[in-house]
Amino acid sequence: MRFDILTLFPGMFAGPFDESIIRRGRDKQLIDIAIHNIRDWATDRHQTTDDAPYGGGAGMVMKVEPLTACIESVKQLHPASTVVLTSPQGRRLTHRVAAELAGQSGLIIVCGRYEGIDERMRSLCIEDDISIGDFVLSGGEIAAMTIVDAVTRLIPGVLGSDESAGTDSFCDGLLEYPQYTRPPEFRGLTVPEILLSGNHNLIRKWRRSESLRKTRLLRPDLMTGVALTKEDRKLITELERNDAAACC
């Protein structure tokens, strides 16, 4: 899969894409990442890419001419890629959205800056808007890194045989169950005995129960979107019974 990132600050990407899972995906040639400096498509000697907003107000707006030229140039090289803008107006990046994006042949990610882009860009070039949350960043570069990371780990072959994106939080709508490793006891805190039992069926049920418990406690809003099985409902009943007993 190919990622083309359009930014005013290409230096921000020097480190994050050279480490960990993304580095592995690049080494395996499963992903290809190219960084494009939008200023290279500006036509004046100062490489101007922003201007004051019509109607007045604080801040600056990304100019339509250089950004359009940059997008069209990259799109011409990779016509099957989808043009995505990082924007607080976009749809929220979730595991489901990341999986959808991972199915694309390529993404052209436009990093928003300042007060945003000239609105005419949405009609001319932008095909999708993605937001990583209801908060303000200085620009879309960190959001672009987040999108690339979330999508890359879902591309077949990127993760090793001993790793799995299928058990991560949100994959099935639930938070992930608690994880433990050696030693079995540390400062008086012990690993749950069931994880040491070797009984894989009991371990599976415990993990599912803990995922349900964590999600109900920490993110109850997620429960409305989870397709519960008959076993899940039984586990929830047991959790509710245990909660009631603990309160008495």
Q: How does the average pLDDT of the chain come out, rounded?
A: 93
Q: Tens digits of per-residue pLDDT, 2-43?
A: 999 999 999 999 899 999 999 999 999 999 999 999 999 999
What are the structural domains of the chain?
A: 2-152 (3.40.1280.10), 172-247 (1.10.1270.20)
Q: Tens digits of per-residue pLDDT, 120-160?
A: 999 899 999 999 999 989 999 999 999 999 999 999 999 97
How many whole angstroms separate alpha carbon 102 and alpha carbon 107? Answer: 9
Q: Tens digits of per-residue pLDDT, 56-110?
A: 999 999 999 999 999 999 999 999 999 999 999 999 999 999 999 999 999 999 9
How many whole angstroms separate alpha carbon 104 and alpha carbon 183? Answer: 43
How many whole angstroms separate alpha carbon 181 and alpha carbon 232? Answer: 26
Query: Among all residues, which ones are annotated catalytic?
Result: 88, 115, 153, 168
pLDDT (0 to 100) of residue 102: 97
Name the DSSP letter for residue 228. -
pLDDT value at 214 more than 80: yes
Residues 6+ apart with CB under 8 A from 121: 62, 64, 67, 68, 85
Q: Which tokens sit at 222?
A: 């997620």
Residues 6+ apart with CB under 8 A from 196: 184
Q: Give the predicted TM-score (pTM) of the model.
A: 0.89
